[in-house]
């Protein structure tokens, strides 16, 4: 879980960075995230990205009122035009309906990515894509509602505790975050800037816990 929070911190920081520059990625998924030799995550592949034009874009906040959308180097087009690039499993329901492009769509994709980072499972694996799209839009279906993951969680609950309360708390908080990210209402999803600050704080907290545990182990070894 420590590594998961570290990777999430890197990805949310990258997303916050591009949103401050009025870019939306529109294809955020694990396949477009690379891990460097120094164990840091980098966001890649901006082939689907679009530039937002707005009169109310606060550089200190990722919330925007989208007036139009512009591809980098291209001509502006009106917001709300359907866009079918990217991968459906990670695409926000409002975009599947042909709705407005906004930073909140990236946050939805981030939620599915964070879920996959924790579960090590592919979202909606083995299901028909047309059925998935309908279920996501009409019934608010999400990856962790799949029977396979429910069985995996049920099996995990039957196992004896493997971690202490310090490790369990971040795990619960992490789950709450990715579920907030994929809320059907784009207006209530957290911004990338908020998530970046949150994961940065948790990363520092967990690093401190890890260092303390290491010191305790070293002390025991010396006795």
Helix (H, G, I), strand (E, B) or coil at 205: helix
Of 23, 170, 204, nearest in space to 103 by CA? 23
Q: What are phi and psi of 37, to 5 degrees?
A: -60, -25
- Is 27 among the residues known to form the active site? yes
**Beta bridge pairs of residue 34:** 42
Sorted by sequence, the CB contacts under 8 Å of residue 22 that are 6+ apart come out as 51, 52, 53, 54, 57, 64
Catalytic-labelled residue, pool 10, 27, 62, 106? 27
Q: Tell me the residue ranges of DSSP E strands in 44-127.
A: 50-53, 68-70, 76-78
Work out the end-to-end distance of the chain between its first and last CA atoms, rounded to an integer number of angstroms.
30
Q: Which residues are catalytic?
A: 27
């Amino acid at each position: 879980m420590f590594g998961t929070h570290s990777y999430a911190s890197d990805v949310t920081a990258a997303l916050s960075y591009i949103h401050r520059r009025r870019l939306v990625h529109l294809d955020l998924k694990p396949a477009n995230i690379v891990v460097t030799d120094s164990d840091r995550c980098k966001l890649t592949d901006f082939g689907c990205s679009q530039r937002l034009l707005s009169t109310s874009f606060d550089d200190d906040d990722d919330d925007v009122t989208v007036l139009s959308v512009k591809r980098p180097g291209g001509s502006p087009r009106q917001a709300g035009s359907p866009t079918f690039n990217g991968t459906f499993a990670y695409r926000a329901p409002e975009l599947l309906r042909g709705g407005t492009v906004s930073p909140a769509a990236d946050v939805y994709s981030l939620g599915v990515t964070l879920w996959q980072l924790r579960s090590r499972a592919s979202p909606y694996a083995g299901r028909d894509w047309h059925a998935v799209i309908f279920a996501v839009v009409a019934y608010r279906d999400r990856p962790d509602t799949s029977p396979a993951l429910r069985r995996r969680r049920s099996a995990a609950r039957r196992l004896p505790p493997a971690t202490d309360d310090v490790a369990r708390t971040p795990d619960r908080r992490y789950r709450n975050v990715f579920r907030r990210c994929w809320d059907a209402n784009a207006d209530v999803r957290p911004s990338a800037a908020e998530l970046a600050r949150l994961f940065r704080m948790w990363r520092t907290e967990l690093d401190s816990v890890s260092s303390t545990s290491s010191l305790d182990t070293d002390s025991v070894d010396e006795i």
